[in-house]
């Protein structure tokens, strides 16, 4: 057999993803020599709390001292799966400055400090790969950066958060309560350590910022993304959506338009015959539109131990080959344009509005007149539930400028006949 150089790697974090990465290293170790021409091995594992029992890995590998890894010249790859901004950012910078290649699953970090980290990788001739940071087991970073390099990409749209997709699926399919569905998603290892990130759309916003930066070759950061989560979506909205032949999904969307980059995350009513409507549970899917390839769709498990570890191992394999061939640091930052971000108020959408109004003659006409005065055209009205003196109405609009809809909502807020605006959800326009 050909000689197979050992490549030492350190694992930072041994939680859901770290545990999965360790398992896949064990499963693949006999394949590595022929697959990669090199044998990556985990030689150290960093955790916060050394006293916690760790199942499945040699106890002598564990440390809580980052310096032991940073200062070990034999460690060539650092796999960061701890999460959060600090100390992960400082550790990655120190690893790169020490000439170590880095794999990370950390979207928080890449969406806010990607430019800084990629610049450090380039300066030090190292690889910094982050396939697991977006859509778990789905290969999307490498396809966007490399396989679709022959395209002008104009749209990226998808379901990129496994937790919220799981929650919405269980609420609509099994009538499960929001809190119970979220608890189950946490038990399954899909959720972030603080699940607010998932529920409020922040995790998806980080992922679309990363994809938009790569797809449009122009830096988009987390704070550029207009973000709404699913905490305002109720069982009632899901039931009205079903009545209209739709489901509710948390979508991430980025478009490169002549007026700038439109980038947002929010719930959306999707027709049941739309391909994304069939993406359920922890599955994610991403559509990419390029001028040459046309529509391309990626689908797979967006979260969880082994799907995420699969993406990490792909990066480790790539780096191992690069180390063997002496060509790390080949592929750095590809954001060479500066395209402005389009304000959300200038975008166009269709809307579903659910509101509680006084149940008396003329109220519906009032609602219609406010919308009309603000150039919001109505496509559909449903009136269903009625209590003693109040009625629930649902209005679906045609495609309208976001600013005009917001102006209408501001007027509704000052009208005594409108008791509550219960939900405002965008509706897919094909």
Among the listed residues 1, 2, 3, 49, the single contact to ligand NAP using CB under 6 A: 49
What's the rounded Cα separation, in Å, for the pair 250 and 203? 11
β strands within 228-375, DSSP E: 246-257, 260-271, 283-290, 294-301, 348-358
Instruction: Report if residue 303 touches ligand HSE, rule: CB under 6 A.
Output: yes
x/- site string to ligand NAP, residues 76 to 115, per CB under 6 A? -----xxx---x-----------------xxx--------
Is residue 330 within 8 Å of residue 323, measured between CB atoms? no
User: 207 an active-site residue?
Assistant: yes
Which DSSP helix (H) or strand (E) runs through 199?
Answer: helix 196-199
Instruction: Report if residue 283 touches ligand HSE, rule: CB under 6 A.
Output: no
Q: How many CA atoms lie within 13 A of 404 on its CB side?
A: 19
Instruction: Report if residue 161 touches ligand HSE, rule: CB under 6 A.
Output: yes
What's the rounded Cα separation, in Å, for the pair 416 and 14? 55
Among the listed residues 16, 217, 218, 320, the single contact to ligand NAP using CB under 6 A: 16
Q: Least distance (Å) from ligand HSE to the CB of residue 179?
A: 16
Burial of 36 (0-12, 13-18, 19+ CB in 10 A): buried
Instruction: Report if residue 131 touches ligand HSE, rule: CB under 6 A.
Output: no
Among the listed residues 8, 10, 11, 18, the single contact to ligand NAP using CB under 6 A: 18
Q: Least distance (Å) from ligand NAP to the CB of residue 17?
A: 4
Among the listed residues 9, 11, 13, 314, the single contact to ligand NAP using CB under 6 A: 13
Characterize the bridge pairing of strands 246-257 and 153-159.
antiparallel
Among the listed residues 203, 262, 305, 402, the single contact to ligand HSE using CB under 6 A: 203
Q: Least distance (Å) from ligand NAP to the CB of residue 315?
A: 12
Q: Which residues of 274-296 are buried (b: 16+ CB within 10 A; e: fewer)?
A: eebbebbbbbbbbbbbbeeeeeb
Instruction: Report if residue 14 touches ligand HSE, rule: CB under 6 A.
Output: no
Q: Least distance (Å) from ligand NAP to the CB of residue 366?
A: 47
Instruction: Report if residue 193 touches ligand NAP, rule: CB under 6 A.
Output: yes
User: If contact means CB under 5 to 8 A according to the sort of partner, which of ligand NAP, ligand HSE, none does residue 163 touch?
Assistant: ligand HSE
Max CA pair span of the chain: 87
Is residue 236 within 8 Å of residue 352, measured between CB atoms? no
What's the rounded Cα separation, in Å, for the pair 35 and 31? 6
How many residues belong to the site for ligand HSE (CB under 6 A)?
11
Listed ranges 174-182, 190-198, 267-275, 401-409: which one lies at the site for ligand HSE (CB under 6 A): 190-198
Return the SS3 of 373.
helix
Return the SS3 of 160.
coil
Nearer to ligand NAP, 62 or 287 (CB): 62
Among the listed residues 13, 20, 40, 136, the single contact to ligand HSE using CB under 6 A: 136
Q: Which of 8, 100, 107, 207 is catalytic?
A: 207
As beta bridge partners, residue 129 has: 103
| Helices and strands in the chain: count of H runs, count of E runs | 14, 17
Centre a 10 Å sphere on the Cβ of residue 406 and count the other Cβ atoms it contains. 13
Among the listed residues 104, 106, 163, 347, the single contact to ligand HSE using CB under 6 A: 163
Q: Which residues are catalytic?
A: 207
Q: Binding residues for ligand HSE, per CB under 6 A?
A: 136, 161-163, 190-192, 198, 203, 302-303
Q: Binding residues for ligand NAP, per CB under 6 A?
A: 13-18, 46-49, 52, 81-83, 87, 105-107, 132, 136, 189-190, 192-193, 303-304, 308
């Amino acid at each position: 057999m050909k000689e197979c150089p050992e490549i030492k790697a350190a694992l930072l974090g041994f939680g859901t993803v770290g545990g999965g990465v360790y398992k896949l290293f064990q499963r693949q170790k006999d394949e590595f020599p022929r697959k990669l021409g090199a044998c990556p091995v985990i030689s150290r594992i960093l955790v916060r709390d050394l006293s916690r029992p760790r199942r499945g890995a040699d106890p002598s590998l564990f440390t809580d001292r980052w310096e032991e890894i940073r200062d070990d010249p034999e460690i060539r790859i650092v796999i960061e799966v701890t999460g959060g901004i600090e100390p992960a950012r400082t550790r990655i910078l120190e690893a790169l400055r020490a000439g170590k290649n880095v794999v990370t699953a950390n979207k928080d970090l890449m969406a806010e400090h990607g430019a800084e980290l990629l610049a450090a990788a380039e300066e030090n001739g190292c690889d910094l790969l982050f396939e697991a940071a977006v859509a778990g087991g789905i290969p999307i970073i490498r396809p966007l950066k490399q396989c679709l390099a022959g395209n002008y990409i104009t749209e990226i749209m998808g379901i990129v958060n496994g937790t919220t997709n799981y929650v919405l699926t269980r609420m609509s399919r099994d009538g499960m309560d929001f809190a119970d569905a979220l608890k189950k998603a946490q038990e399954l290892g899909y959720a972030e350590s603080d699940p607010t990130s998932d529920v409020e759309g922040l995790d998806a916003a980080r992922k679309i910022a990363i994809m938009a930066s790569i797809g449009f070759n122009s830096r988009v950061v987390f704070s550029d993304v207009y973000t709404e989560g699913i905490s305002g979506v109720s069982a009632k909205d899901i039931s009205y959506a079903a009545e209209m032949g739709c489901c509710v999904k948390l979508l991430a969307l980025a478009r490169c338009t002549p007026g700038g980059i439109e980038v947002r995350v929010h719930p959306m009513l999707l027709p049941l015959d739309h391909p994304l409507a069939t993406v359920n549970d922890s599955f994610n899917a991403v559509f990419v539109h390029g001028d040459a390839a046309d529509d391309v769709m990626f689908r797979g498990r967006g979260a969880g131990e082994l799907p995420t570890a699969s993406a990490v191992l792909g990066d480790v394999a790539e780096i191992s080959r690069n180390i063997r061939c002496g060509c790390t640091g080949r592929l750095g930052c590809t954001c060479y344009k500066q395209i402005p971000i389009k304000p959300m108020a200038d975008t166009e959408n269709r809307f579903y509005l659910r509101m509680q109004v006084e149940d008396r003659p003329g109220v519906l006409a009032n609602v219609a007149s406010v919308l009309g005065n603000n150039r919001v055209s109505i496509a559909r009205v449903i009136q269903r539930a009625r209590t003693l003196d109040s009625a629930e109405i649902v209005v679906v609009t045609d495609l309208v400028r976001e600013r005009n809809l917001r102006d209408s909502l501001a007027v509704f807020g000052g009208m005594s006949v409108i008791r509550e605006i219960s939900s405002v959800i965008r509706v897919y326009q094909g």
